[in-house]
Amino acid sequence: MRTSGGRTTDLASENRLTGAYLVVALVALFGGVLTGLFQALEHAGLDLYPWLTPFIQSYYHGLSLHGVLNVLVWTTFFICGFLPFVTAQALGLPLKSRPLGWVTFWLMTGGLVLAAIPLVGNVATVLFTFYPPMKAHWAFYVGLTLVVVGTWLVALNLVLTHRAWRAKNPLARTPLPAFMSLVTFVLWTIASLGLAAEMLFMLIPWSLGLVGGTDALLARVLFWFTGHPIVYFWLLPAYVSWYTLVPRQAGGRLFSDPLARVSFILFLILSTPVGFHHQFTDPGIPEGWKLVHAFLTFAVFFPSLLTFFNVVASLESGARARGGKGWVAWFGKLPWGDPSLAAQVLAMLLFAFGGVGGLINASFNLNLVVHNTSWIPGHLHLTVGTAVTLTFIGITYWLVPYLSGRALWSRRLALVQVWFWFFGMAIFSNALHRLGLMGMPRRTMIGASVYLQPEWRSVLPLVGIGGTILFVSTILYFVNIGLTVVASREPAAVEVAFAEALSGPEHAPAILDRWGLWVAMAVVLVVIAYGPTLARLVSTTPLNAPGLRVW
């Protein structure tokens, strides 16, 4: 039930849909974390792969499972469950089309199963970036494409729901949580076009034998067209929580609603035209365009700085209301006993380091030092692996009780879990960053390499220790969530209440609700940043590279 403006809306169907997405997301998270453990142990000198066959055929098979399950499936399914939930709650309306909601869920799950069969069967061991000429079974590409099509249908349903709300509320500002959810899905829809083109025009026809060959560079350009902004598709739902829910959990108010909207509009405009910072070392892309993308990457850093300021100020308002004092000491007065809040604030803390590392990656010359080293997985575990994942975990600490009607089984266990993640990740990611600076390559079965350097040896065990702590943390998490659903006897006392703002939506200029303008700006910037390079590559690249199976 949801009461909005005196009306009461029954959102039970939306809640069930969110629950369904959550189940798939959590299964993926578990599979990904389990395979991750074996990699971390391998780096620490404990090679379990000989015992793991026939389930996991090789380090690279496990790494493909890990990447696809954690960064692609866990994130996407969680988001497709969470943002429609938030939108329906904030607008006080059911989804415009519930049947479409369920068809979308089954399309995505069907696509996932189709992709999972070759992945599990070791005929799609191409890592989560599936760079050709490494070639997977066609079902892997078709399945993932269906998942992407499903995300477009989620976007469609959200847009239709917002329209229905707008018809009844012609002059009101879109409530912030719904506004943010919509921006996230519009951003993603634009961003996903690169991946869709790569799948439909290159990988699917090639894997089906309809065209003779492929091209690594064109495929990588299309992949990173999506592959950079996808990180904001993962991050922004975490920001939705940090802006609209966490301030209230902290006992305070959101510092500025208009500033939050500006930040999201900037993400919409600036996220997509920045893919070449993943390709600074690729030949065939003019240096000038790489430089343009580098500058634009620094520009898209800015809305995260706005977020830093706004979210910290909101936390501070909560802590001061609870008696917090001093410049920094107020931080201790946050309600650290609430595992949902603790998870998210700890996620923010580690994200500050991940964000700074991102700037290093984006700097052309420094990138030459860290590219393709273990520094990069160090970075991505702080960002998607903590800012996003630990935040999503924190959200489930209230969302699962809310959906199941049963109180969280153990708050204390949840707190232990959250701190384990924080320390485990700090150790794990710090070790990977340091090893990267020592030149250790990423995506490599290090224990089997003939070039293992003596100075790496002292740091490698920390990868195994950090990875094991993370694994234990996840087990605690699944035990707690599982027992909440099956064994918790106490009814949940959770209500979904969004934070009020110190400076509210009435201070936001109406132009921020002008979708056409912002989407047009986003598209123009994409055309400028990618047009010349893509036009040249598409018109001059022969698709003639044969496929390889290297596993």
- Residue (356 or 524) nearer to ligand HAS, CB: 356
- Residue (253 or 278) nearer to ligand HAS, CB: 278
- Residue (249 or 304) nearer to ligand HAS, CB: 304
CA dihedral 184, 387, 67, 69 (to 10 degrees): -70
Compute the distance between CA of residue 536 and CA of residue 551 in angstroms, rounded to an integer: 33
CB of 519 to ligand HAS, least distance (A): 21
Q: Which does 248 bind (CB under 5 to 8 A by kind): ligand HAS, Cu ion, none?
A: none
Rg of the chain, C-alpha, whole Å: 23
Residue nearest to ligand HAS (CB): 355
CB of 330 to ligand HAS, least distance (A): 8
- Residue (94 or 318) nearer to ligand HAS, CB: 318
CB of 297 to ligand HAS, least distance (A): 5
Cα-to-chain-centroid distance, residue 550: 28
- Residue (117 or 349) nearer to ligand HAS, CB: 349
Q: Which does 301 bind (CB under 5 to 8 A by kind): ligand HAS, Cu ion, none?
A: ligand HAS
- Residue (155 or 370) nearer to ligand HAS, CB: 370
Which residues of this protein are in contact with ligand HAS, per CB under 6 A?
A: 129, 231, 234-235, 277-278, 297, 300-301, 304-305, 307-308, 311-312, 331, 348-349, 351-352, 355, 358-359, 361-362, 367, 371, 376, 379-380, 383-384, 388
CB of 112 to ligand HAS, least distance (A): 20
CB of 268 to ligand HAS, least distance (A): 14
The verdict on 379 binding Cu ion (CB under 5 A) reads no
Q: Which does 349 bind (CB under 5 to 8 A by kind): ligand HAS, Cu ion, none?
A: ligand HAS
- Residue (2 or 228) nearer to Cu ion, CB: 228
**What is the maximum span of the chain, computed from C-alpha positions, in angstroms?**
70
Compute the distance between CA of residue 116 and CA of residue 214 in angstroms, rounded to an integer: 23
Compute the distance between CA of residue 526 and CA of residue 245 in angstroms, rounded to an integer: 32
Q: Which does 362 bind (CB under 5 to 8 A by kind): Cu ion, ligand HAS, none?
A: ligand HAS
- Residue (96 or 228) nearer to Cu ion, CB: 228
Cis peptide before 133 (omega within 30 of 0): yes
- Residue (211 or 292) nearer to ligand HAS, CB: 292
Q: Which secondary structure element, helix H or strand E, spans residue 2, and what is its range?
A: strand 2-4
Q: Which does 367 bind (CB under 5 to 8 A by kind): Cu ion, ligand HAS, none?
A: ligand HAS
Q: Two tokens at 6?
A: 């005196």
Residue nearest to Cu ion (CB): 228
The verdict on 228 binding Cu ion (CB under 5 A) reads yes
Query: Which residues on adjacent β-strands are paired with residue 379?
Result: none
Cis peptide before 505 (omega within 30 of 0): no
Among residues 200, 222, 203, 223, the alpha carbon closest in space to that of 213 is found at: 203
Interacting residues of 184 by C-beta distance below 8 A, sequence separation 6+: 79, 83, 232, 233, 236, 237, 240, 264
Q: Which secondary structure element, helix H or strand E, spans residue 256, and what is its range?
A: strand 254-256
Q: Two tokens at 488?
A: 């918790």
- Residue (137 or 379) nearer to ligand HAS, CB: 379
- C-beta separation of 499 from 245 below 8 A: yes
Place of tokens 């034998």: 209
Upper half-sphere CA count for residue 192 (Cβ side, 13 Å): 23
Q: Which amino acid is at 111?
A: G
CB of 380 to ligand HAS, least distance (A): 4
Q: Which does 16 bind (CB under 5 to 8 A by kind): Cu ion, ligand HAS, none?
A: none
Binding segment toward Cu ion, per CB under 5 A, in 133-141, 226-234, 398-406, 466-474: 226-234
Q: Which secondary structure element, helix H or strand E, spans residue 4, and what is its range?
A: strand 2-4
CB of 355 to ligand HAS, least distance (A): 2
- C-beta separation of 216 from 131 below 8 A: yes
CB of 296 to ligand HAS, least distance (A): 10
Q: Two tokens at 230?
A: 């996808």
Q: Which does 235 bind (CB under 5 to 8 A by kind): Cu ion, ligand HAS, none?
A: ligand HAS
- Residue (181 or 297) nearer to Cu ion, CB: 297
Count how many residues are written for the chain. 551
CB of 356 to ligand HAS, least distance (A): 7
CB atoms within 10 A of CB 389: 28
Place of tokens 């067209």: 225
Binding segment toward Cu ion, per CB under 5 A, in 7-15, 172-180, 227-235, 300-308: 227-235
Compute the distance between CA of residue 427 and CA of residue 54 in angstroms, rounded to an integer: 31
Contacts with Cu ion by CB under 5 A lie at 228
